[in-house]
Each structure stands twice: as C-alpha cells, then as structure tokens.
Amino acid sequence: STLEGCTSNDTITITAYNAINGSYTGNTVLCLGDSTVLTAVGGTQFEWYNNTRAVIGSTNFYLAKPTDTTNYQLLFRDAMGCSDSINISVFVIKPPLVDAGPNRSIMQGNSTSLIGSITGQNNGFNWSPTTNMLQQNSLTPLVSPLNTTTYTLTVNGLNGCAVTMDTVQVRVFVSIAPPNSFSPNGDGIHDIWLVPGLETY
C-alpha cells in the first residue's frame, strides 16, 4: 500500500518438484579381478566420476572393475533440473602374499622348522601334508619327514576370494653305510658295491 491508501495485489505461482533422492544397486566388495555393475536408481541423466573426478560414464549404469579400492561419485539430474549426488565406495580385496619359506635339508631321523609367512589379510591357512608335523596351526611347524617331502602352505582369502599357496621342500638324506669290502670276481657273491642310502644324495 502507498501513503495515499492505494493497494495492489499480485499472484505468484510456485511449483515444487519432488527431490530426486538417488540411490544405486550393485556389489561394493569385490575380489581383485572381479567386476560389478553399479546401477543408478532415480533421475534421468547421469554422470559417473572416479577418484580423480574424471567423468567415466553417462548412462544409468557403470561396469566397475577397479584394481584398488575406489570411491565413485554418481550425479543424478531429472527433466526439471533437480539434481542429487551420492558417493559409492567399492572395496577391492587383494589376495594375501604367501611364502612357505626356504627349502630345507636334514638327515633322516632329524627335524627342522618350516618358516612360512603371510602378508595381507586372510581367512586362515593350513599346511599339507601334516604327517610327522608338530604345531600344524603355526606358520613355523616342526617337521620330521622320513623321506624327501614337499609341503604346501595354503592361505584362504577374505570374503571367499582367491586361495593362494606356496611350497617348500625338505630333502631327507639317509646315513650312508657302505660295506667294508666287496669281491668283484664274477662269482655272484658281493660282486657289486651297493651303498645303502646313496640314492638320496
């Protein structure tokens, strides 16, 4: 109104649009080498960004196959110009590194410790074979094989991911007991010098 008492009215129409409230579907925990389809839910236009903010897609889905844990951003828009964005972290589970340790050599009847090691997250391990093995649940079990034996250290990855393994050999030497004499005279008695245990060397 004015000082003179004049008044005027006007009408303004305000149109409210529903917010997008975007979301997504897809796996967010992957084994190294696996992929997942991330699908946008909501909106009609899309932009996918990676860790470096580079645009990597413009459809309602994105096939992700990261080699490391990656944070994606998804920007939604609709026909009215409304927008929303969400962050999606895809975690990559890498297989553990396994080392069964150096090869060993022992005399028959003796023992030696295996020196296994695991680097990275895992869901348990086991040795095989376990015959003549003490402390089977240790990375450094004590073994007393009767013959040369190859042991395998098997490690389970997290979340059902890759099983990794490594081997170590324990070579067993038999004590040599050569005879004190032989008679290579062709009579069929003690003609050949047989040295028991020589084949293990």
Whether the predicted pLDDT of 47 surpasses 60: yes
Question: What local confidence, expressed as pLDDT, does residue 188 receive?
Answer: 79
Q: What is the mean pLDDT of the chain?
A: 88
- 79: pLDDT confidence band, cut at 50, 70 and 90? confident
199 pLDDT above the threshold of 90? no
Residue 19, pLDDT score = 62
Pick the more confident residue, 201 or 23: 23
Q: What is the mean pLDDT of residues 179-192?
A: 76
Question: Per-residue pLDDT for 55 more than 60?
Answer: yes
Tokens of 146: 């009767």
pLDDT of amino acid 197:
66
For the record, the structure tokens of 14 come out as: 């305000």
Q: Are strands 83-93 and 29-31 parallel, antiparallel or unpaired?
A: parallel
Residues 6 or more apart whose Cβ sits within 8 Å of residue 140: 113, 114, 115, 116
Give the per-residue pLDDT at 128: 97
pLDDT tens per residue across span 89-130: 999 999 999 999 999 999 999 999 999 999 998 999 999 999
Please, which residues bridge with residue 37 across strands?
Answer: 63
Q: Closest Cα to residue 74, out of 55, 49, 43?
A: 49
* Overall average pLDDT of the 166-180 stretch: 86
For residue 154, pLDDT beyond 80: yes
Residue 140 has pLDDT above 70, yes or no: yes
Distance between CA 105 and CA 114 in Å, rounded?
11
Least confident of 27-31, 74-78, 93-97: 74-78
